Amino acid sequence: MKISTLLLIANLFLGGAAVAAPAIDMDYITAVKSGGDTTVFFKGESIQAFRNPAQNLTEAQIQRHMAGDALFERNFSDDAGRFDHGLGPVYNNTNCNACHAKDGRGALPVFPIGATWVPLKQNEAVFLRISIEDDIKRPKTAENNWGAPVAVPGFSDQLFHLGSFGVRPDLPGVGQAQVWMSYEKTTFTYADGEKVELRKPIFKVTGAYDEYFDSVTGQVRSRLYEKDVKMGPRIGTPMIGLGLLEAIKESDIRALAARDLSDEGVKGQVNMVFDIEKSMAGDPYPVSMGRFGLKNNTPSVFHQSLGALRGDIGVTNYAFPKESIAGTPLYDSYMNSKQGAPALEASDEVANDLVFYSQTLAVPSRRNVEDPTVIRGANLFHQTSCTSCHQPSFVTGPHKIEAFSNQKIYPYTDMLLHDMGEGLADGRQDFDASGSQWKTRPLWGMGQTQTINPRAGFLHDGRARTLEEAILWHGGEAEYSKKKFVNLPKADRTALIQFIRSL
């Protein structure tokens, strides 16, 4: 019997986790098929790189993917007489594709020359998640919505800046409040004197629907303007390979979290979050490991997609049958002007096809893997400890869509939360994620990102215009690795970025 087998048995006896963390397989350096057999091949960069079905789907599955594709681009309407009715009464955009541009990521608003603040109007890919500060670590129960962020009373856990006709007679087009954005700029200086300008979007809120003038304090007040309200900006993320990320074995993710990387100051953590599918199935403890969302705050593509349909667009569906703002005074006064009880807005078929589509977008192949600079950069990616969080590869476990099972994939994420320091913090908790923790973003497809959407920005709020800026924002647990990057000679920094551009 081999020692490893003995250890395994000993572990089983002791009730310990018998699974070793997936190794860092150095074959990533030249691997081309980032999404295993789902991979779609591209010679160069292409505006179409993210818009393809997984290449190993059956003919029937491709048909279904195409049906979902049309729905992903459908502009929902708030006109009750139309077949595509359902938008609103409050929302952040009118279709999925508007925030996930060509299945890639969104961009921050354009600033007219001379403007320092711009209002978020129609068609912005960024919105604010909101909640009440809640630092108490507590067991997850039905009473506290299984540890979910505490909604702002009278609002929700997301701020809807757009509204249907009649929602805000005082501010037509606006939803719960008006959101404004500006930039805060800083400069990073390398040891050799080279400077990089960094910018971070900052937000302010006006025109909340419950706003009033407090004659005692002489201030304009709203529940939304109180100090305990936390706001975190989020920008639309790429849609590729999500079914594959669902198929990564939970035991692999847990084993990565259990590694001892204390000499680098790295400590990954899982987020345990509310699971609508378990809840619908009557599970008494509807909590699962989070995998999606920028803080891993949803467990599945199903939960995230139908949550977005109801939340971001305002289209109720069988998983989320009530409007996000149901029960708030804004909703009640709007509904008073309507007749009849609201019906479910999306059919089950529409909902299911959207989920299927979101699960089945192919990952594009890598390019230029034989370029010596790319190979040097790939080695530097490991030497500078990027791989401590951006785990290069996994072999997936079973998935109900067979195409995703047992695939060797190269997503460059450990699927875990990491404290990324003050510079990136939004100060807003989300289930077990703190105000400074974020999920390690997958890096597959990175080289195609700005071909698909030239204005697309990196990181959770789209602040970074370049890959270099994205790296320079790394802090907290990533400080050790960032320092190694910063201390490289310029040619090596460029090579490392060339490697990311080959993904």
Closest contact distance (angstroms) between CB of 350 and ligand HEC is 9
Distance, CA of 161 to CA of 181 (rounded, Å): 12
What residues contact residue 95 under an 8 Å CB cut-off, 6+ apart?
Answer: 72, 73, 74, 75, 76, 313
18 vs 67, which CB is nearer to ligand HEC?
67
Distance, CA of 26 to CA of 387 (rounded, Å): 10
Single residue of 40, 179, 389, 403 touching ligand HEC by CB under 6 A = 389
Distance, CA of 94 to CA of 354 (rounded, Å): 15
Among the listed residues 80, 73, 88, the one whose alpha carbon sits nearest the alpha carbon of residue 172: 88
| Binding residues for ligand HEC restricted to 408-427, rule: CB under 6 A | 418, 420, 424
Place of tokens 């393809």: 52
By CB under 6 A, is residue 181 in contact with ligand HEC? no
Single residue of 181, 362, 386, 403 touching ligand HEC by CB under 6 A = 386
| Binding residues for ligand HEC restricted to 140-169, rule: CB under 6 A | none
Closest contact distance (angstroms) between CB of 127 and ligand HEC is 5
Single-letter amino acid code for the residue at 339: Q
Distance, CA of 97 to CA of 106 (rounded, Å): 9
418 vs 465, which CB is nearer to ligand HEC?
418
Token couple for 488: 């490289």
By CB under 6 A, is residue 477 in contact with ligand HEC? yes
- Exposed/middle/buried for 64, CB within 10 Å: 0-12, 13-18, 19+? middle
54 and 409 Cβ atoms separated by less than 8 Å? no
224 vs 495, which CB is nearer to ligand HEC?
495
Single residue of 485, 492, 495, 501 touching ligand HEC by CB under 6 A = 485
By CB under 6 A, is residue 478 in contact with ligand HEC? yes
271 vs 297, which CB is nearer to ligand HEC?
297
Distance, CA of 450 to CA of 45 (rounded, Å): 9
Distance, CA of 279 to CA of 404 (rounded, Å): 25
Single residue of 458, 472, 492, 502 touching ligand HEC by CB under 6 A = 458
| Binding residues for ligand HEC restricted to 74-93, rule: CB under 6 A | 92-93
By CB under 6 A, is residue 244 in contact with ligand HEC? no
| Binding residues for ligand HEC restricted to 300-319, rule: CB under 6 A | 301, 304-305, 308-309, 312-313
By CB under 6 A, is residue 352 in contact with ligand HEC? no
286 and 273 Cβ atoms separated by less than 8 Å? no
By CB under 6 A, is residue 385 in contact with ligand HEC? yes
Output the CA–CA distances (angstroms, integers) from residue 188 to 17, 116, 191, 486, in the order listed.
43, 22, 10, 10
Closest contact distance (angstroms) between CB of 40 and ligand HEC is 18
Residues 336-345: contacts with CB under 8 Å, at least 24 apart: 337/166, 342/316, 344/316, 344/317, 344/318, 345/85, 345/86, 345/315, 345/316, 345/317
57 vs 71, which CB is nearer to ligand HEC?
71
Single residue of 181, 229, 467, 472 touching ligand HEC by CB under 6 A = 467
By CB under 6 A, is residue 441 in contact with ligand HEC? yes
Single residue of 49, 57, 90, 96 touching ligand HEC by CB under 6 A = 96
Place of tokens 């962020």: 149
Q: Which residue ranges make up the site for ligand HEC (CB under 6 A)?
A: 92-93, 96, 98-100, 125, 127, 129, 234-237, 242, 266, 292-294, 297, 301, 304-305, 308-309, 312-313, 354, 358, 384-386, 388-390, 418, 420, 424, 438-441, 458-460, 467, 470-471, 474, 477-478, 481-482, 485, 500
